[in-house]
Structure 1
Amino acid sequence: MRINDIVRIGPVVPVLQFDSVEQGESVAQALLDGGVRVLEVTLRTPAAMAVIERVARLSDQMVVGVGTLTRPEQFAMAVSAGARFGVSPGFTSALGEAAQAAGLPLLPGVATPSEILAAQAAGYDIVKFFPAEPAGGVPMLKALHGPFADLRFCPTGGITAESAPSYLALPNVVCVGGSWLTPKAVVDRRDWVAITRLAQAAAALRPAQHSA
């Protein structure tokens, strides 16, 4: 499955980090119950790879990605754990080569026109705009649409349930990434029903790219 296909499965890609495998499995099931089929598990906790391995076996409908890829050696590990795509906060040729060698579709992070040019030169036409809000948000993406009309973005970083529709209304946005579907307080009290409700609301959003 290509990145182009993955980012069009749903309008919101939850960006997740977990303290335990059990927590990750419960959250993933709650998200799936709410209609969210794609998620990104970030390598920010020791449990991350084990969570990916467990969640990847949860359902054939679930597409599990690995986030915060910053070193080439992480790609092969992610594939072994069952990840079906990778996400990086930035992009280097070494990361691109590692993704290709591991056979892991990559969503590379960019924040500036120069970084976009580097990603395009490596063959990418869908990128992660990160950190979205600090890097200029909706106005920046509107400005980038002119010189990069064929490029599509998955903005991530500081996006909320309230701001997501503004991003998804842009013609160059295919989906958004965010952590608002799994508030820490809700996860801590194991309120999986609340997470399913948040997932249902997110899955109901309609990007301009999907309705065109």
Structure 2
Amino acid sequence: MTSKTQKLLALLDGQPVIPVLKIERAADAVPLARALARGGLRAIEITLRTDEALECIRRVAAEVEDCIVGAGTILSARHFDEAVAVGSKFIVSPGLTRELAAHAAQSDVPLLPGTITPGEIMGALEAGLDFLKFFPAEQAGGASFLKALASPIAGVKFCPTGGISAKNARDYLSLPNVVCVGGSWVAPDDMVKAGDWAGIEALAAEANKLRKN
């Protein structure tokens, strides 16, 4: 296990579900992060899929002490640096390129890169990365695929993301090579738009009960 893997695992602190958030309005970022943290999900991923994403990360990093904010949908070294500059404590990418791997190696901020195939996983290992995002999880073969990887690619840990919900999260979390899952079901768009922070806190609390023994 690499030092950066240990650092990222320490940030997650056994959290079973990482909220994957696409936030349209920067004004929603702080109350949303606070609701999730109150429910026990302190580490969150804000994806760079909206014009407000970097501002959302900046606000959460500056104003929500209980929250550990990371940036998702990082596609380049420039994205990586922009996210770190506004306070991201970890970086998540849908895939891994040589450029991104080399750039991440020069940073103290840990990278959780997306992989699917055994070849991609081996490439990540060669880059010194042994805690990986399995994305898109359901579309790429689901829990049964990851289970099949546990023996031939031992030592690699995963955070499956993509198509995961309260209904199938346990299927993944029961696997020995899965640390946590990423999902958006804990912060549905309609509840965010309505400002239903109490409802989101309740969803987070339920998700937090999925902690692995």
TM-score bin, normalised by smaller chain? over 0.9
1:121 to 99, 105, 126: 126
Secondary structure at 2:45's aligned position in 1? strand
Q: CA deviation at 1:77?
A: 1.1
Sequence identity (%): 47
Structure 1 partner of 2:18: 13
**How far did residue 71 of structure 1 move?**
1.0
Counterpart CA distance in 2 for 1:108 and 1:58 is: 27
Whether 2:30 is the aligned partner of 1:25: answer: yes
Q: Which of the residues 165, 170, 176 maps onto 1:160? A: 165
Task: Give 1:90-109 correspondences, 5 Å limit.
Answer: 90-109=95-114
Deviations 1:77-96 (A, max 9, x none): 11110000000000111111
Partner of 2:181: 176
Q: Which amino acid aligns with 2:84?
A: V
3-state SS of paired residue (1:108): strand
User: Contact (CA 8 Å) 1:8, 1:175: kept in 2 or not?
Assistant: no
Alignment of 1:1-212 (within 5 A): 2-207=7-212, 211=213
Pair 8,171 (structure 1): closer, same or farther in 2 beyond 3 Å: farther
The TM-score normalised by the length of structure 1 is 0.94
Output the aligned Cα RMSD.
1.2
- CA displacement at 1:101 relative to structure 2: 2.8
Whether the 8 Å CA contact 2:136–2:163 is kept in 1: the answer is: yes
Helix, strand or coil for the counterpart of 2:106?
helix
Using structure 2 for the length normalisation, give the TM-score: 0.94
Give the aligned residue type for 1:130. F
- Separation in 2, partners of 1:167, 1:59: 30
Question: Runs ≥4 in structure 1, deviation > 3 angstroms?
Answer: none
Q: Shift in Å at residue 62 of structure 1?
A: 1.2
Deviation at 1:155, TM superposition (A): 0.2
The count of aligned residue pairs is 208
Structure 1 gap ranges (5+): none
Q: Deviations over 1:53-90 (max 9, x none)?
A: 00012333311000000011111111110000000000
Deviation of the 1:186 alpha carbon? 1.2
